[in-house]
Amino acid sequence: MDFSLTADEKMIQEMVRGFAQQELKPQAATLDAEHKMNLDNLARMAELGLMGMNIPEAYGGAEVGVVPYSLAMTEVGRACAATAVTMSVTNMVGEVICAFGTEEQKQKYVTRLCSGEYAAGAFGLTESLAGSDPGSMRTQAVREGDYYRLNGSKLFITSAEYAGVTVVWAVTDRQAPKSRRISAFLVEQDTPGFKVGKAEEKMGQRGSATNELVLEDCLVPAANLLGQEGDGLKIALMALDGGRIGIGSMAVGIGYEALDFARDYAKERVQFNQPIASFQAIQWMLADSYTEMESAQLLVLRAAYLKQQKTRFSREASMAKLLATEGANRACYRAIQILGGNGYIAEYPVERLYRDVRVTTIYEGTSEIQRLVIARHILNA
Ligand SMILES: Cc1cc2nc3c(=O)[nH]c(=O)nc-3n(C[C@H](O)[C@H](O)[C@H](O)COP(=O)(O)OP(=O)(O)OC[C@H]3O[C@@H](n4cnc5c(N)ncnc54)[C@H](O)[C@@H]3O)c2cc1C
């Protein structure tokens, strides 16, 4: 077993680290304060190949694989979580179109996501009455000749206000068993009846827009059905498995960023005539959280490796997301504890990191849903 990165993986990691540290990190506090994404950053990321890392070159992707994608997400997550989540969802949308789309859909949408012609992609699954249980959604799609007429609404959709294309899920057959009830559609931003609502006021990741979507007699060409009618739940669950690698990788980045800051602070801050890093209480917090983040990164990379090998990785992705996001939450909590009062003050970055990391145990499936997936695999083994 070889745990070392290949020369290409190291090169990509270093390239993304350089970009993220120099260009994204200095802007993270401003994007948070102004609640605004910097679309120029997204265009630059597309130029660097970061918006389609696991997508074939034939569709404009970088085609470097899932392990480099995970490493890149960790670096971008370290620098700016709001930008990282945008990158994660955009890659996920490109990949799901690649996996289930027609040749025409791939040529049209995936190339635009990868090139930056579309600032981002969005994933429209959640509704106010259907979160962890997407199969119970209400949005409806009715076939009318060459179109589907969509009516309903979506909630908490990342990047919806600047996404060129949104994958929207809707019920196509209310009578079908739950697993075959919904279908997925590719909806362009300027489609009549597709209305992006207000961006939510959020605790963290404030630079990333999270919008409501309203579909009012939204006519989507039948050619924009993704996969077959009834495939929607399968498509969503498959996309979420991969998405969990992205969010787990990002959480590892946020956790390490908070810990590195706390470590440096603990070496400088003197109380009782000695650096607080000399107290065992502080050392153990650092030791526990670095151990947890390192084990989480191993799990995340293992899930990425399995996906790259095109073998089953659902259980591993859920385990990785669970440990990485809960571990990163603990790391940020401890980082604030190590900084004491300063940790709570917005002038210090751990205050933002603590807010940014919180949602990672909620989106792309809550921690409870990850445990449910893991337990199903264990019990059905
Ligand atoms: C900032 C942000 C960005 C988001 N971006 C997107 C996006 O781009 N696209 C999108 O489609 N969605 C997005 N979401 C939605 C997100 O995926 C959901 O919030 C999440 O899946 C949980 O759904 P819910 O909020 O309805 O909570 P609920 O499903 O109502 O869950 C509430 C609580 O009940 C628990 N629970 C539910 N079912 C079970 C069960 N069977 N067993 C045990 N516990 C259970 C949950 O774990 C949770 O603790 C985003 C959310 C946020 C906050």
**Stretch 184-197: mean pLDDT:** 98
Which residue is catalytic, options 47, 294, 364, 368? 364
Q: Is the pLDDT of residue 381 over 90?
A: no
The residue contributing the CA closest to ligand 1 atom 24 is 131
Percentage above 70 pLDDT, the chain:
100
Ligand 1: which residues within 6 Å by Cβ?
A: 89, 123-126, 131-132, 156-158, 202, 210, 359, 362-363, 365-366, 368-369, 372
Q: Is the domain covering 234-379 a CATH 3.50.30.30 domain?
A: no
Domain boundaries, the chain: 7-120, 123-229, 234-379
Gap from CA of 241 to ligand 1 centroid (Å): 15
Q: What are phi and psi of 155, to 5 degrees?
A: -130, 150
Q: Residue 133 corresponds to which tokens in the numbers above?
A: 């249980």
Contacts 24+ apart (CB under 8 A), 104-110: 104/223, 105/186, 105/223, 105/224, 105/226, 106/59, 107/59, 109/164, 109/165, 109/186, 110/52, 110/55, 110/59, 110/60, 110/61
Does 34 qualify as catalytic in the annotation? no
Q: Which ligand 1 atom minimizes the distance to the CA of 132? A: 29
The residue contributing the CA closest to ligand 1 atom 29 is 132
The CATH classification number of 7-120 equals 1.10.540.10
The residue contributing the CA closest to ligand 1 atom 25 is 131
The alpha-helical segments, DSSP class H, found in 163-279 are 232-268
**Stretch 101-127: mean pLDDT:** 98
The CATH classification number of 123-229 equals 2.40.110.10
Q: Which ligand 1 atom minimizes the distance to the CA of 372? A: 42
pTM, entire model: 0.98
User: Do 7-120 and 123-229 come out as alike in CATH topology?
Assistant: no
Summarize pLDDT for 28-66 with one digit per residue, the tens.
999 999 999 999 999 999 999 999 999 999 999 999 999
101 pLDDT band, cuts 50/70/90, is very high
Determine the distance from the C-alpha atom of residue 198 to the mean position of all C-alpha atoms in its chain, rounded to a whole number.
21
The whole-number pLDDT of residue 228 equals: 98
Nearest to 168 by CA among 176, 180, 160: 160
Our mutation pick for probing the ligand 1 site, out of 247, 363, 370, 374, counting the most ligand atoms within 8 A of Cβ, is 363
Summarize pLDDT for 204-233 with one digit per residue, the tens.
999 999 999 999 999 999 999 999 999 999
